[in-house]
Amino acid sequence: MTWPAGGTPRPTRRAVLDAAPEAAPAAAPLLRVEGLKMYFPIYKGVLRRRAGEIKAVDDVSFEVRAGETLGLVGESGCGKSTTGRAILRLYEPTAGAILLDGRDIAHLDGDALRSLRPKMQMIFQDPQASLNPRMTVGSIIAEPLDEHGRMPRAERRARVLELMDAVGLNRSFANRYPHEFSGGQRQRIGIARALALNPRFIVCDEPIAALDVSIQAQVVNLLEDLQERLGLTYLFISHDLSMVRHLSTRVAVMYLGRLVEVAPREALYDNPLHPYTQALISAVPSPDPEVEARRRRIILRGDVPSPANPPPGCAFSSRCPKVFDRCRVEVPPLRDLGEGRRAACHLVEDPRRAA
Amino acid sequence: MLDGPAPVLEVTGLQTVFQTRDGAVHAVNGVSFAIAPGELLGVVGESGSGKSVTMMSLMRLLPSPPAEITGGAILYQGRDVRTMSDRDLRELRGGEIGFVFQDPMTSLNPVFTVGYQLIEPLRAHLGLSKAAARARAAELLKLVGIPDAASRLDDYPHQFSGGMRQRVMIAMALSCDPKVLIADEPTTALDVTIQAQILELIRELRAKLGMGIIWITHDLGLVAGIADRVMVMYAGLVVEHGPVAELFANPLHPYTRALLGAVPSVTGPRARRLRTIEGQPPILTAAPEACPFAPRCAHVFNRCRVENPPRLPVRPGHDVACWWDAETDAPRRA
* Chain segment B238-248, per-residue pLDDT in tens: 999 999 999 99
Angle at A130 between CA A126 and CA A133, to 5 degrees: 115
**Cβ contacts of B29 within 8 Å, gap of 6 or more:** B15, B50, B235, B236, B237, B284, B287, B288
Q: Residue range A69-85: average pLDDT?
A: 92
Cα–Cα distance, B102 to A130 (Å, whole number): 24
Interface with chain A: mutation pick from B276, B278, B283, highest number of A CBs within 10 Å: B276
**With pLDDT > 90 as the criterion, what percentage of chain A qualifies?**
63
Contact A245 B193 (CB under 8 A): no
Going A256 to A262 to A266 to A272, the CA torsion angle's sign is negative
Nearest alpha-carbon partner for B131 in A131, B139, B181 = B139
Q: Residue range B175-192: average pLDDT?
A: 86
The residue type found at B241 is: H
Q: Residue range B296-305: average pLDDT?
A: 92
Q: What is the pLDDT of residues B279-293, one digit of tens each?
A: 778 888 888 889 999
Predicted model pTM: 0.85
A-chain residues near B265 (CB < 8 A): 242, 245, 286-288
pLDDT at A218 over 80: yes
A-chain residues near B259 (CB < 8 A): 213-214
* pLDDT value at residue A24: 40
* pLDDT value at residue B132: 92
Per 3-state DSSP, chain A is made up of helix, strand and coil in percentages (nearest 5) of 30, 25, 45
- Contact between A260 and A337 (Cβ < 8 Å): no
Angle at A54 between CA A52 and CA A59, to 5 degrees: 115
Contact B276 A269 (CB under 8 A): no
How does residue B47 score in pLDDT terms, banded at 50, 70 and 90? confident
Cα–Cα distance, B125 to B119 (Å, whole number): 10
What Å distances lie between residue A294 and A88, A287, B225, CA to CA? 43, 13, 10
Contact B262 A217 (CB under 8 A): yes
Cα–Cα distance, B310 to B290 (Å, whole number): 11
* pLDDT value at residue A132: 93
3-state secondary structure of A70: strand
Surface of A (259-318) touching B: CB under 8 A: 269, 279-293, 295, 297, 299-300, 303-304
Contact B225 A295 (CB under 8 A): yes
Q: Residue range B21-45: average pLDDT?
A: 92
Q: What is the pLDDT of residues B1-14, one digit of tens each?
A: 445 678 999 999 99
* Radius of gyration of chain A, Cα coordinates, nearest whole angstrom: 22
Q: Beta-carbon neighbour count of residue B303 at 10 Å?
A: 15
A-chain residues near B274 (CB < 8 A): 217, 220-221, 246
Contact B277 A217 (CB under 8 A): yes
Strands B318-320 and B237-243, bridge-based pairing? antiparallel
B20-31 core/surface letters (b: 16 or more CB in 10 A; e: else): eeeebbbbbbbb
Q: What is the pLDDT of residues B74-94, one digit of tens each?
A: 999 989 999 999 888 888 887
3-state secondary structure of A157: helix
What Å distances lie between residue B38 and B51, B182, B200, CA to CA? 21, 13, 16
Q: Residue range A7-26: average pLDDT?
A: 40
pLDDT at A21 over 70: no
**Cβ contacts of A245 within 8 Å, gap of 6 or more:** A71, A251, A265, A269, B264, B265, B266, B270
Compare CB distances from A303 to B163, B220, B275 and report the shortest one's residue.
Answer: B163
Contact A218 B276 (CB under 8 A): yes
pLDDT at A12 over 50: no
Going B140 to B144 to B146 to B147, the CA torsion angle's sign is positive
Contact B266 A241 (CB under 8 A): yes
**Secondary structure of B245-273 in the HEC alphabet?**
HHHHHCCCCHHHHHHHHHCCCCCCCCCCC
H or E element at residue B149: helix B149-152
As a whole number, the mean pLDDT across chain A is 87
Give the count of Cβ contacts less than 8 A between chain A and B. 123
What Å distances lie between residue A41 and A52, A111, B122, B292, CA to CA? 6, 27, 44, 53
How does residue A20 score in pLDDT terms, banded at 50, 70 and 90? very low
Contact B265 A242 (CB under 8 A): yes
Q: Residue range B3-30: average pLDDT?
A: 88
B-chain residues near A285 (CB < 8 A): 199, 219, 221-222, 224-226
Nearest alpha-carbon partner for B198 in B122, B113, B100 = B100
B-chain residues near A241 (CB < 8 A): 192, 266
Cα–Cα distance, B141 to A314 (Å, whole number): 30
pLDDT at B194 over 70: yes
The residue type found at A211 is: L
CA end-to-end distance (rounded Å), chain B: 20
